[in-house]
Structure 1
Amino acid sequence: MPPDLDPRLTPARPDLADICLRGQVAAERFVEGRPARIAVPSAPLRRRPDVAAGLDTEAVMGDAVTVYDVRDGFAFAQIVRDAYVGYLPEAALGPADPAPTHRVAALRTFVYPAPDLKRPPIAHLSLGAAFAAQAREGEYWQLASGGSVFAGHAVPLGHTEPDAAALAERLVGTPYLWGGRTTLGLDCSGLVQLCLESAGLVCPRDADQQERALGTALPPGLDGLCRGDLVFWKGHVGMMLDAERLIHANGHHMAVAVEPLAVAVARIAEKSFGAVTSIRRLAMTAELAETGAFTPSAAS
């Protein structure tokens, strides 16, 4: 694969590739992907079509995907949301339509076989999962795919969270999971992606991609930081809650945790990812700081 193409984002193998890549990559045949959608609560995306292969990321119900090949129970596919490519379980795929109308805003919610909290649930959905609401029955949405979800746990698809850092705080204690991006388990960049997407921002999946794509770089040093600023190491990312505290999913605590940035910087430099590579400020963070909605020393 040409060095300017990121294999994580390029739907190409030696035997086939996306037809849009003709002339850019070598492949035995070029195909046009078909649209599909994740029809289960969550689905692991792996680098190889093997259940023993490591978890690269996760797709959740409602995620649009483009499928290029299916064999032996695995689909070679690309998640539309962040363009990540890999192998999804074939059984996780459903039709592309109907498109979702609502997303889960609670950390988790149950899918019931009927609009009745006393019925045994048939599944659970994580924060950010989306569904097509067919009708409202009392306090529940009836899903087009079957089952019912408590309406108070969902918001219309276009709704955005006003404070990504506040959402991150709700996730404190979530176990660390390499490749995880549900509220059952998160890695560092999965936490950032989930929170920023809930706030209405397009966010790449991995920390190095986020560092290249998000915000503007601040001058070197740890002074003058604001709530929402992103701190990057080579292979790691966290979000500032105020001028001094960092929230991040990390292997030291094996959870989403809050700690003083200075403590994290010293430990990470000594034991894992080395020095901070950059600190980046998002447009929404800069706007809040300029309007005085929060100050560099404020925690909310």
Structure 2
Amino acid sequence: MTDTVSPLDRRIHAHHPERRTADAALIPQLEGEWTALSPTPAWADDLLSLRASPDETAAQVSEALPGERMELLEVLPGGWSWVRTTHDSYLGYARSSGLSTTPPTLSVPVTVLRGHVYAAPRIQAQVLGRLGYGAVLSVQQPEPEQHGAYRWWRVRYGGTDGYVRTSVTEPQQTPGADLLHKFLGVPYLWGGRSAWGIDCSGLMQLASGYPLPRDADQQQAYLSPVDTPQAGDLVFFPGHVGYMLDERRVLHANATHMAVSIETLGEGEYGRQLADSVSGYGRMTPELWAAQLEQA
């Protein structure tokens, strides 16, 4: 995903010229009369679609994973809210019914690629929702419950109680090439950020292990440019990004295969097209890591 970056990028700077509303922190930079908005904490109740406008038919620009922290900027008519994800400051419109304003008491991360929330602590029970790697479960007790042969977390999901097997939260591999390989074959989805459907920059943000902004052009601007790629670098194309497994092989979510796949730059028709359109390579340097730690 990509867009044109401006001094006040409307993807990350909360100002709406038509409604004349803006984050209070931006008001000093804006001319004319604006209504100041004071962001309040919110959390995604389930896998929450963020759209370009408050309309179900509008393009999906991103997703908030279950349990991800957000900021509620403005409640709009028709059951919509203008929101911002806190991990990357990305803006979008979400259904208000998918938001919770109650902070979790206890939480545990989802470590598997995909999973489900059940209405009762048994695998035959009704499925309440879907989970994916990176989601955060709001658990209702400090320890799992034993039901039959399995241990279950009792969780809050979609405004109701549900149950999740503890296997969904057990330690797995760390982000990087090994985790990215597990996403092979995951369907491509514009704006997607989960193993149920993902786009190129969402995959890099979720599984590369780097604290990246949301879109491909933002990621290219963030990383340090390099001329010769190595394993772990990101490779950029117009409106697209992938992960270099070595000097030539790239793992990426793409609309050509409508899935996450691996190509070799310069090999085969698609590989040659990719090689011809490379716009640069980016690397996560120790200096960038240090700067990120200082901001945390």
Specify if TM > 0.5.
yes
Superposition CA RMSD, Å: 2.2
Q: How does 1:119-130 map to 2 (within 5 A)?
A: 119-130=125-136
Uncovered stretches (5+) of structure 1, i.e. residues with no partner = 288-300
The SS at the match of 2:140 is strand
Identify the match of residue 198 of structure 2 among 186, 189, 207: 186
Q: How many Å apart are 1:35 and its aligned residue?
A: 1.1
Give the aligned partner of residue 155 of structure 2. Answer: 143
Q: Does the aligned pair in 1 maintain the 2:51–2:62 contact within 8 Å?
A: yes
**Structure 1 residues 176 and 106: CA distance shift in structure 2, 3 A:** same
The letter for the 1-side match of 2:23 is D
Identify the match of residue 68 of structure 2 among 53, 63, 66: 63
Q: How many Å apart are 1:245 and its aligned residue?
A: 1.6
Give the aligned partner of residue 25 of structure 1. Answer: 30
Uncovered stretches (5+) of structure 2, i.e. residues with no partner = 290-296
Q: Does the aligned pair in 1 maintain the 2:120–2:126 contact within 8 Å?
A: no
Give the aligned partner of residue 292 of structure 2. Answer: none
Give the aligned partner of residue 217 of structure 1. Answer: 225
The SS at the match of 1:228 is coil
Give the aligned partner of residue 296 of structure 1. Answer: none
Q: C-alpha separation between the residues in 2 aligned to 1:144 and 1:77?
A: 21
Question: 1:191-217 CA distances to partner (integer Å, 9 max, x unpaired)?
Answer: 111103xx3x32111000011112x22
Q: How does 1:143-182 map to 2 (within 5 A)?
A: 143-145=155-157, 146-155=161-170, 161-182=173-194
> Structure 2 length normalisation: TM-score?
0.84
The SS at the match of 2:94 is strand
The SS at the match of 1:91 is helix
Identify the match of residue 107 of structure 1 among 95, 113, 126: 113
Q: C-alpha separation between the residues in 2 aligned to 1:99 and 1:182?
A: 24
Q: C-alpha separation between the residues in 1 aligned to 2:105 and 2:92?
A: 23
Q: C-alpha separation between the residues in 2 aligned to 1:121 and 1:239?
A: 34
Give the aligned partner of residue 240 of structure 1. Answer: 244
Q: C-alpha separation between the residues in 2 aligned to 1:152 and 1:112?
A: 14
Query: Which runs of structure 1 show a deviation greater than 6 angstroms over 4 or more consecutive aligned residues?
Result: none
Figure out how many residues of one structure are paired with residues of the other and give that number: 268
Identical pairs, percent: 34
